[in-house]
Amino acid sequence: MSEEMKETIEIIELKGTAEAEETVETIDFKETTETEEAIDIHKTIESNNTKEKKNNVETKAKKEKNKMTQTRLGKKLTRIMIISMVIVSAMFLVGGGIIFFGETGKFYKSKVFDVSNTIAESVDTRFIKKLIDLVETDEYREVYEQASYENQAPIISYLKKKGIYEEYTNLVNQLGSFRESMNVEYLYIQNIHGDTATYIIEPTGGYYSLGNISEVPLEYNGVVTNEHIEPKVSYDKEFGWLSSGGEPLYDEAGNAIAVICVDINMSEIVKRLVNYLVIMLIVLFMSVIFVYYIYANLLNFYVVNPIKRLTNYLVRFGNSENGYDKDSIDEVEITSGDEIEEMYHKFRYMQEQIIDYMDNLENMTAERERIGAEMEIATSIQKGMLEDMSSDLVSRPEYDLYASMSPAREVGGDFYDFFMLDSDHIAILVADVSDKGVGAAFFMAIAKTLIKSYAKSTSSPAEVLSKVDKQISEKNGVGMFVTVWLAIIDLNTGHVTYCNAGHDYPLIKQDSKGYELVKSPHGPPVSFIPGMDFPENEFTMKKGDSIFLYTDGLNEAKRGDGERFGIDRMIEVLNEHQDDDNANIIWYMREAVDKFVGDEPQFDDMTMFGFTFKGRE
């Protein structure tokens, strides 16, 4: 065991003794303050009671909120059902009304056609032709102008004068009989020419209808001559709902001389249809209320209540009312045999998985905390093994010296060291272990201890590294190795003897010419090829000359696009600040690297070591 480790153990033992004494004093103090603690406990109990009351109020509010939330599903589903029922019922109702009205319209259209054909076959068309010719004479038009609906005497006298009064009266009575027997609202004969029609016979209008000229009715729109008028259902404010149509009357030559028109009143049928729709609406409303009652109860029993139980079950688990272990999982009675029951079993399985995950997470967290604590100790130990920049060796007048090491993980494999061999010689070194993390840190501790131990027994860096190589290689089962740049400097003359065991070439400033990369023969890394020789080199430093040592974590630092920081940028930073002390130079170098890599994480340990020779007077 080295002297440093013995000193560390003694410090820990002393610290432990002091903490034990402090603990005893604390216990004595607690025994003398029991009354004060009792008062504090009473206050704590009161505070806990207040918090418990507050929590009870909050829990009750949450339960009320849950209860309100749980009833929303039933209301939504019931609302959807009612809307669906109303829509479907309305569709059937309206559709039934349309079908009923359409079929009724077809019936009345057929009836109009049959009536008009029947009358057309029974009318004397020769007499109709005679009447048409009569009403077109100027003589009759003068007589018609003298008559009115209330005063039909001029027309009657004229018909008697012409000897056709009785025949015309018989035809009017015949059509009137047809009208009454066939339940026809209006029955009349017209002579259509263009957009006007001349009435020949209209039983309800009496003799005044003979020769009455009017526009063609709207329901006959498009008819401009005596032709077949397709039966049609229409509505008029004055006459109501009518089914209207007509058939032409032909003379002996087969020419259409007039049209016999039939209007059948459908207002009663439409009124019945409206009454039917009103009754159906009332029935629909009552049916909806009845179905709503049945459906709501069934919905609550088969859907809402199981979901409520499932929701409460999940809320209890979420609030950890029974703790978080498999024995605390509730058994809920959900035997609906549908997706809700399947969902319940899925939730139970999920709960078990969550509990397993929480147990694993708790164990992992504890393990991570333990490892984290151990890593903090390892980090502290590693920092303690590196020479402190506040030690007396840093502030000597013969040189200016500064070093830093930034591990990529909590602990790293890089290290530096500097120590006096005697009053006239100082050893400086930078090394890089082939791995990172805890393993590299242990390997680094061994290598550092051996180098320092052997360096104090010889003045040859090559011999030091050869002995270390032999010692480490004997029990290096993991195949790790370390690159080392080791130098011994005479503080009187500035003579430097150094050995490079596979490490990066140093940057050296001589004669105020600026820093340059100095390449020289070097050997393999320590413990890489056991038994190999390590070549030794030397040069002399003058006052103001400097050495900058580093590990590959500096020059190989890369940014997001993969470009490396490189030796050229390092030389540029060093020469820009070559007149500063080594502490500032290393600070500027780190700033330049951080700016270069940006947000890219550090992937390798980074060590820098600056030494400037000042000499002795």
Cβ distance 498 to 537 under 8 Å?
A: yes
> Is 13 part of a structural domain of the chain?
no
Structure tokens at 489: 């400097």
> Is 465 part of a structural domain of the chain?
yes
Q: Are residues 258 and 395 in the same domain?
A: no
Q: Give residue-wise pLDDT tens across range 286-311.
A: 887 887 778 777 777 777 777 777 77
Using the predicted structure, report yes or no on whether residue 87 has a pLDDT greater than 70. Answer: yes
Alpha-carbon distance values, 581 to 402, 542, 557, 586, 614 (Å): 9, 16, 24, 9, 12
d(CA 242, CA 142): 35
Name the most confidently modeled range: 199-203, 324-328, 406-410, 576-580.
576-580
Structure tokens at 268: 């009663």
d(CA 584, CA 564): 23
Structure tokens at 538: 């030397």
Cβ distance 504 to 555 under 8 Å?
A: yes
Q: Are residues 257 and 404 in the same domain?
A: no
Structure tokens at 10: 């003694």
Structure tokens at 161: 């004068």
d(CA 600, CA 422): 44
Cβ distance 553 to 404 under 8 Å?
A: no
The CATH number that applies at residue 465 is 3.60.40.10
> Is 531 part of a structural domain of the chain?
yes
To the nearest 10 degrees (0 to 180), the angle between helices 165-181 and 153-162 is 120
What is the average per-residue pLDDT within 348-369? 77
Nearest 5 degrees, angle CA 463-CA 468-CA 472?
155
Q: Are residues 401 and 257 in the same domain?
A: no
Which residue reads 């057929």 in tokens?
110
Q: Domain ends where: 265, 300, 330?
A: 265
Q: How confident is the prediction for the chain on average, in pLDDT? A: 78
Alpha-carbon distance values, 206 to 148, 262, 376 (Å): 11, 17, 122
Sheet of strand 515-517: strand arrangement: 399-406, 606-613, 546-550, 507-509, 515-517
Q: Give residue-wise pLDDT tens across range 101-126.
A: 667 667 767 777 777 787 777 788 88
Would you state the pLDDT for residue 454? 93
> Is 589 part of a structural domain of the chain?
yes
The CATH number that applies at residue 138 is 3.30.450
3-state secondary structure of 305: helix
What is the average per-residue pLDDT within 414-433? 92
Q: Are residues 575 and 445 in the same domain?
A: yes
Which residue reads 């409520």 in tokens?
308
| The total number of residues written for the chain in this structure | 617
Q: Give residue-wise pLDDT tens across range 515-565.
A: 999 999 999 999 998 888 899 999 999 999 999 999 999 999 999 898 999
d(CA 430, CA 547): 12
Spatial neighbors of 423 by CB under 8 A, at least 6 apart, are none
d(CA 455, CA 472): 15
Q: Are residues 261 and 391 in the same domain?
A: no
Dihedral (CA of 587, 552, 569, 567) sign? positive
pTM value is: 0.46
Which letter does DSSP use for residue 615 in this model?
A: -
Q: Domain ends where: 265, 294, 315?
A: 265
Structure tokens at 59: 């829990």
What is the average per-residue pLDDT within 470-475? 88
d(CA 277, CA 98): 11
Q: How many CB atoms lie within 10 A of CB 116?
A: 24
Q: Please state the domain count of the chain.
A: 2
Which letter does DSSP use for residue 260 in this model?
A: E
Q: Which domain holds residue 233?
A: 123-265
Q: How many CB atoms lie within 10 A of CB 157?
A: 14
Would you state the pLDDT for residue 462? 94
> Is 54 part of a structural domain of the chain?
no
d(CA 190, CA 169): 17
Burial 396-416 (b: 16+ CB within 10 A, else e): eebbbbbbbbbbbebbbbbbb
Q: Domain ends where: 240, 265, 290?
A: 265
What is the share, in percent, of the chain residues with pLDDT greater than 70?
76
